[in-house]
Chains A and B, each alone.
Chain A
């Protein structure tokens, strides 16, 4: 299953939106945090986990999803949210803590919820898998269409929740796809020192489901693997595990000195920037003309500019509104 030209250009554009969005967030995040870095200061306070480098995983999977499909995302959710179609303006405003944000500032960047596209996050590693299994169960019981996708990092595959959820999805034969974005690092701990298997895909065998390792951080390869898994789930064939090799081009969070990386690793990764690579490939293969490229870049930039401007200009809510929405 190969992406069509239209799908390739969609993936390229969504990756660009995600990257441009995060570049703006990164820039604004540092406002008020220099010369002395204090996470509590500036227009975007708190932890900030950037996903740049990992965009192919999100677009390759979400290219197959509709609004009705469910995604549970992680503490590093921007690329996944953007690929799933979360409202970019409301998402930006949420990251700024504004009244116009997805939850009016109650969630923040690790807790993005958009009911219109069935998107949710948890900041706790590995804890989005159970909800994805439950959403898939809901669709099966209600005989409604739709699949659930749970994104996780490779570190989450060592959580009990991973193993329990894969088993439950398998015994109940549910339409759910578990997508590991293996960026090789759990904060500062290298995967090979934390994970007993070379590739987490092999763990799928323990639950009698397909497990596919996708090397190369390549949108097209991810699209193909995800397409097969999602098609299988839609056809009632049950759950799958995708294990995608990817790279985190930034630190775990902003402020991370990344001293744990071996010398030269970061420079090497930056040279392998998947968006630049995909752009070159699309241009070389004739799937993207120079004028189309300019148009896509321009439209991506406009979308990001509008979202950031919306967030900047939005008001804060009354602090007392923190008391609202504790219960339904």
Chain B
């Protein structure tokens, strides 16, 4: 029996995940800038303040260093803080608390202290917000051990992965893309707003998903890139190329087996990443195939990633630099040696 369709935006799916967990677990609370009566700059805490009040939905001063550190101390003392870092670009003012404390205290304690905190943070550009409000920084967080990193591409995953993140006893960096969020003031990718069950559920952290099946080339992506990749797959279909699209969903742990099995089937790999190209996600995905068995590849892997430049403001420059369906189509045609 099919459940009644109930489409939610990513923002509403996130708020629902938090409110349901807060009802179930008194230790869960939210803090960050403008998460209270405003409901979050990106709408993801809307309604929480009204339901749970100012103690459990805490507006903080603009003091990321202090409140990120406070999340570490509260989590180690038995609470389950969900902390918002409004833009991931702001990590520079609080990174010590994240990568030196939150990510390492379990290790430094030999497993005697857990830090069950969730940092939810917005990523991505494409709307001319300049080079300090448009980055993804997936690779930066995924590079450092001790934190799980998830990147939902749609509202179903957004709810299930946030629920899983809150229940996880390790710190989880939950990176949501502004262009998928469903905010009134910024365009939203239509494919991100999907049917979301009302009941609680989890999406296991560390499991990738094949979101479109194909047999000629595997396109691996995450977040917004998944939607570009799905569009590219449809365009490729018209050209007689069958592309499989894999949504990573989590960067840590990375589902290397899933990637490998898909590439083994198609023999070709294109990685799409809105984060900077070098030393990041795209290189790691390729490495997870070639270091295991290079013989499965029929062509050298390609990547469609953000060039190694700060993100420019001007619309035409930024759009030129961002991944898009056309670039992905070109890369896929390249690896399939097809002239389209």
Contacts and interface: CB of A to CB of B under 8 A. Distances in A.
A57 B81 CA distance: 32
Interface string B94-127: 0011001100111111111111100000000000
B63 A325 contact: no
B47 interface: no
A131 interface: yes
Contacts of B110: 101-104, 106-107, 113, 325
A141 interface: yes
For A118, A141, A161, A165, which residue has the most chain B Cβ atoms within 10 angstroms? A141
Given A103-B108, A113-B112, A328-B106, A141 B72 contact: no
Contacts of A122: 100-101
A137 B66 CA distance: 12
Contacts of A73: none
Contacts of A325: 106-107, 109-111
Interface in A96-144: 101-104, 106-107, 111, 113-115, 118, 120, 122, 124, 127, 129-139, 141-142
Size class of the contact patch on chain B: 35 or more
B77 interface: yes
Interface string A132-171: 1111111101100000100000000000110011011001
Interface of A: 70, 72, 101-104, 106-107, 111, 113-115, 118, 120, 122, 124, 127, 129-139, 141-142, 148, 160-161, 164-165, 167-168, 171-172, 324-328
B96 A70 contact: no
A122 B97 CA distance: 10
A135 B168 CA distance: 19
Contacts of A138: 73-74, 77-79
A158 B50 CA distance: 38
B96 A127 contact: yes
Contact of B108 (A70, A106, A327): A106
Interface string B323-337: 000000000000000
A168 B113 contact: no
Contacts of A104: 110
10 contacts: A101-B110, A106-B107, A113-B112, A120-B109, A130-B101, A135-B76, A138-B77, A167-B66, A168-B70, A328-B116
Nearest to B102: A131
Nearest to A105: B110
Nearest to B63: A164
Given A103-B110, A130-B72, A168-B66, 7 more contacts: A103-B107, A127-B101, A141-B56, A141-B79, A160-B65, A165-B65, A167-B66
A171 B67 CA distance: 12
Contacts of B170: 327-328
Contacts of B72: 130-131, 134
Contacts of B168: 328
Contacts of B100: 122, 124, 127
A115 B113 contact: yes
B113 A113 contact: yes
A250 B40 CA distance: 50
B212 interface: no
A130 B113 contact: no
For A103, A132, A133, A328, which residue has the most chain B Cβ atoms within 10 angstroms? A328
B17 interface: no
B288 interface: no
Nearest to B116: A328
Contacts of B105: 113, 120
Nearest to A115: B112
Contact of B66 (A118, A129, A141, A324): A129
Contacts of A161: 65-66, 69, 96
Contacts of A172: 58
For A122, A134, A160, A167, which residue has the most chain B Cβ atoms within 10 angstroms? A134
B195 interface: no
B187 interface: no
A136 B70 CA distance: 9
B73 A141 contact: no
Contact of B63 (A134, A135, A168): A168
For B73, B75, B101, B170, which residue has the most chain A Cβ atoms within 10 angstroms? B73
B148 interface: yes
B73 A148 contact: yes
B96 A124 contact: yes
A115 B77 CA distance: 9
A132 B109 CA distance: 17
B61 interface: yes
B53 to A, nearest CB: 11
B61 A171 contact: yes
B219 interface: no
B78 A142 contact: yes
Contacts of B162: none
A308 B61 CA distance: 46
7 cross-chain pairs, A with B, having the tightest CB-CB distances, nearest first: A130-B69, A134-B73, A103-B110, A134-B70, A131-B73, A328-B169, A164-B66
B108 A113 contact: yes
B108 A130 contact: no
Contact of A133 (B70, B101, B111, B114): B70
A120 B113 contact: yes
Nearest to A131: B73
B42 interface: no
Contacts of A124: 96, 100
B77 A139 contact: yes
